[in-house]
Structure 1
Amino acid sequence: MEHEFSLKEHLRELEERLLKPEIRTSAAEVSKLLADDFFEYGSSGHVWHKYEGISEGGIGVVRMTLSHFEIHQLSEEAVLTTYRIFNEKSLQHTLRSSIWKFGENGWQMFFHQGTPTRA
């Protein structure tokens, strides 16, 4: 029997996939999760786009923990996710938001933003 996920569970799983080393180090796997027109306002203050940010080795390994995950339905095909991230290497907390769009390739991240915050 196929396990059915709620939309919230499914999008959390997709967000967490983007934190896994085996996904982050694969340009093909990262590309599946990011829409072609994806862009990010990073917690570093840099802006990057899918077409310029993914190398052959992916997007680099991180050690981050996701918590306080919520979704906010924008339309039938668009959802805003919000959550907190703790970067275990830099000991930095950030507030995160992503916009996911549903299309012919399923759910893909269209936009992401990270904002540094206190614990």
Structure 2
Amino acid sequence: MTECIQQLELKLLHHDWTENPKSLDQLLSADFEEIDTNGIIHSRSEVIQWLLHKNKAIRWSLDNFRIKLLTQDCALAIYTASKHQDSAYIRNESIRSSIWQYQDQQWKMIFHQASSKS
């Protein structure tokens, strides 16, 4: 399960969603929301807009990725994310947490939060 959810997190960040934005419905729950590093709450539609317009040259690495099972069909992912561009580190690390729920025979993210790492 850990590898599966880690790959889904990377897919959200690295995939080009502009060709088929509706495919995001397979990964983001209908009631998804996010809290960014500034403590601002973003709706599902705001996050989808960010995913559609993100800088495709930026790559992410996810370190210390781990899963805590909350219920049989709900898991908490916790990891450190770092941004890279042209093989160079470009931004401070952030601590991330996501809640994934098994819905309709697939894992969907229902919540995500990023916290600045000092």
User: Normalising TM by the smaller chain, what interval?
Assistant: 0.7 to 0.9
How many Å separate the matches in 2 of 1:44 and 1:102?
Answer: 29
In the TM superposition, what are the counterparts of 1:32-51 in structure 2 within 5 Å? 32-51=26-45
Distance 1:102 1:65, change over 3 A: same
Aligned to 2:66, which of 31, 51, 70? 70
The runs of 5 or more residues in structure 1 that have no matched partner are 1-6
Percent identity, aligned pairs only, is 27
Distance 1:33 1:85, change over 3 A: same
Residue aligning to 2:112: 112
Runs of 4+ in 1 over 6 A off after TM superposition: none
Distance 1:25 1:60, change over 3 A: farther
Post-superposition CA distance 1:84-106 (Å, at most 9, x none): 00123641210000000011151
Q: Is the 8 A contact 2:84 2:91 kept in 1?
A: yes
Aligned to 1:20, which of 4, 14, 20? 14
Residue aligning to 1:92: 92
Post-superposition CA distance 1:39-97 (Å, at most 9, x none): 00011332111134323972523432111100000001100000000123641210000
Q: Secondary structure at the match of 1:14?
A: helix
Q: Is the 8 A contact 2:17 2:51 kept in 1?
A: no
Q: How many residues align?
A: 112
The runs of 5 or more residues in structure 2 that have no matched partner are none
| 1:101 and 2:95 aligned | no
After the TM superposition, which of the residue ranges 108-117 and 12-21 deviates more from structure 2?
Answer: 12-21
State the TM-score, normalized to the length of structure 2: 0.81
